[in-house]
Structure formats: C-alpha cells, structure tokens
C-alpha cells in the first residue's frame, strides 16, 4: 500500500517483466554487429567526446602510419586520414563494423581479430597505436598494450581514450537501444591504477594524462553529455611512449 492506496501488484509485475524482456545481453562481436546499423546515427555522448579527443590528438601528433585497436566502423581512421595519415590499419572483432569501415574507405587495411592477439605487422610499423572506447571490453589490459608497444616505432605514441573510471566504476559502459530493446555486452570497469600498472608491465611510460569534461567539448553536444553537469569527466586520455622492455608476466 502506498499513500493509503492499494498497490497494483499485477501492473507492477507486468512492468518489471516488460523491462526484463526489453534487455538482452550479447557477446561483444554480436552486439556490435547489431549496433553497426545505427552506431553513428545516435547521440552517444562518449562517441561525441571521443571524436573530439581523436581530432585533437591527430592534429597534434601528425602521425603518418596508424594502427587502431577496436576500429569499429572506421570513424577515427577517417579522421586521422583527413588530418594527414597515409597508412591506416584497424582490427575489430565485429564483421558488421568492419564492413562499415571498408565501405567508408577501401584503402583501410582491416583485420577481424581480438585486439589482444598479435597483428601480422612488423615491429615498429606505426607512428601511432590508438585505443578508443575499446579497452572497456578487455579484462586484461596488458596484452593489447604490449602489442601496441611492439607496433610503434621508438619515438611513436600509444594513445588510450576510454570512459573515465569515475563513470565506469559506477556502472557506465557500452550499451545501445535497438528499437524497444536495450542491448548490453560485457564490459570491464578499469581503475586508474589498472591503466598505470598495465602500461608499466607492457613497457610503456605515461607521457600525459587528460580528463575530458563536458565543458571541454566544442559544438552542439548531445543532451546526455551534460547529464552529470559540466565538470564531471566523461573520458580519460593517456598518451604513452615506449619505456623499455615489456615486463613478462610472473608465473606463480
């Protein structure tokens, strides 16, 4: 009973059932295949912010050869090419996303594979290795960061742009609506110490760290960008450089 009125348990139960039926949990590749149709047409606040972070990174570094881990539909690769990159390589688990990337630019060299697995590219191949909204799907950060370190030249850069730990630790992660269905997928909330420790073990040093707040973003932002106010960071960006031999995992 609420406010002296009997609670309609049938209606409440039905609402709960509808909510449960309206949410599906899919493996990462399957979820992104389904998301590929609408990924760039929505008002995703993280994609909006990450696009600006990538744009600034691209103009600042001026990389000519780029590898993106978890490249999705190729949005970031296209931005980097527009800013002067000449060779662009991406890998992703989702065939649907890779099809979008190929349609966007046939010159992209694309691989369908897990980002923790070695790419068939030479050591020191790239000026820039990029992770953008992709490491949240990886439990162990060391393997992909170690592969990124292998691929960048001695003076190269590994860039990480991800959902800020303040948000991911509070349950914010990749999800989308497909009609009336809320689609969720496996995500791993990473702390600052997780990024720092993994970078060190992968043989990388942190050259810079930036927290992107809503007030730092330009243009007409989706309403969700300011959901928590102008000063709560949405994204964290790490700029990493080669520091020395990668530390091998200890075997207990």
pLDDT digits (tens, 9 = 90+) for 176-214: 998 899 999 999 999 999 999 999 999 999 999 999 999
Q: What is the pTM of this model?
A: 0.87
Q: Is residue 178 part of a domain?
A: no
Domain residue limits at 214: 43-171+187-242
Q: In the prediction, which pLDDT does 13 show?
A: 36
Of the candidates 117, 127, 50, the residue with the CA atom closest to the CA atom of residue 89: 127
DSSP designation for 232: S
The answer to whether residue 26 sits within a structural domain is no
47 is a domain residue? yes
- Mean pLDDT over 153-179 rounds to 95
Residue 238 within any structural domain of the chain: yes
* Residue 215 pLDDT grade (very low, low, confident, very high; cuts 50, 70, 90): very high
Specify the CATH number for the domain of residue 165. Answer: 3.40.50.150
Contact between 108 and 102 (Cβ < 8 Å):
yes
pLDDT band at 6 (very low <50, low <70, confident <90, very high): very low
Q: Name which of 128, 129, 101 is nearest 32 in CA terms.
A: 101
List alpha helices for the chain, DSSP H: 9-21, 28-35, 45-61, 75-82, 95-104, 142-151, 165-168, 192-201
How many domains does the chain contain in total? 1
| Whole-number Å distance between alpha carbons of 171 and 85 | 35
Integer angstrom CA distances of residue 135 from 92, 145, 232: 12, 10, 21
The structure tokens 């592969």 sit at: 147
Evaluate whether residue 179 is within a structural domain: no
152-163 and 235-242 strand pairing: antiparallel
Whether 78 maps to a domain, the answer reads: yes
Q: What is the mean pLDDT of residues 58-84?
A: 96
Q: In what order do the strands lie in the sheet with 204-212?
A: 109-112, 87-92, 65-69, 126-132, 152-163, 235-242, 204-212
Please check whether residue 1 lies inside any domain of the structure: no
Going from the C-alpha of 78 to that of each of 1, 69, 89, 106, 179, the distances in angstroms are 57, 14, 11, 11, 28
CA gap 241, 39 in Å, rounded: 31
Q: pLDDT category, 39, cuts 50, 70, 90?
A: confident
**Mean predicted confidence (pLDDT) in 89-114:** 97
pLDDT of residue 105: 98
- Alpha-carbon distance 57 to 89, whole Å? 17
Kindly report, residue by residue over 119-133, the tens digit of the pLDDT. 999 999 999 999 999
Give dist(CA 161, CA 209) in Å, integer: 10
Residue 249 clears pLDDT 90, i.e. is over it = no
Residues 6+ apart with CB under 8 A from 174: 31, 133, 136, 137, 184, 185, 187
Average predicted confidence (pLDDT) for the chain: 89
At residue 61, does pLDDT exceed 60? yes
Does residue 145 fall inside a structural domain? yes
Instruction: Judge whether residue 42 has pLDDT over 90.
Output: no
């Amino acid at each position: 009973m609420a406010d002296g009125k009997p609670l309609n348990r049938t209606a409440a139960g039905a609402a709960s059932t509808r909510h449960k039926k309206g949410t599906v949990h899919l493996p990462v590749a399957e979820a992104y295949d389904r998301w590929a149709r609408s990924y760039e047409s929505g008002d995703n606040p993280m994609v909006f912010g990450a696009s600006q972070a990538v744009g600034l990174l691209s103009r600042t570094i001026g990389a000519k050869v780029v590898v993106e881990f978890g490249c999705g539909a190729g949005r970031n690769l296209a931005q980097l090419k527009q800013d002067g990159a000449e060779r662009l390589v991406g890998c992703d688990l989702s065939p649907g996303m890779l099809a979008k990337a190929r349609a966007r630019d046939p010159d992209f060299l694309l691989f369908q594979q897990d980002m923790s697995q070695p790419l068939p590219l030479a050591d020191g191949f790239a000026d820039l290795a990029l992770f953008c909204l992709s490491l949240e799907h990886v439990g162990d950060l060391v393997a992909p960061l170690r592969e990124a370190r292998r691929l960048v030249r001695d003076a190269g850069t590994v860039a990480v742009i991800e959902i800020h730990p303040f948000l991911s630790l509070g349950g914010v992660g990749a999800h989308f609506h497909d009609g009336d269905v809320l689609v969720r997928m496996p995500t791993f909330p990473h702390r600052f110490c997780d990024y720092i420790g993994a970078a060190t073990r992968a043989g990388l040093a942190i050259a810079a760290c930036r927290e992107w707040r809503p007030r730092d973003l330009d243009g007409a932002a989706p309403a969700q960008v300011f959901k928590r106010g102008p000063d709560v960071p949405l994204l964290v960006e790490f700029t990493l450089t080669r520091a020395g031999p990668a530390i091998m995992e200890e075997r207990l």
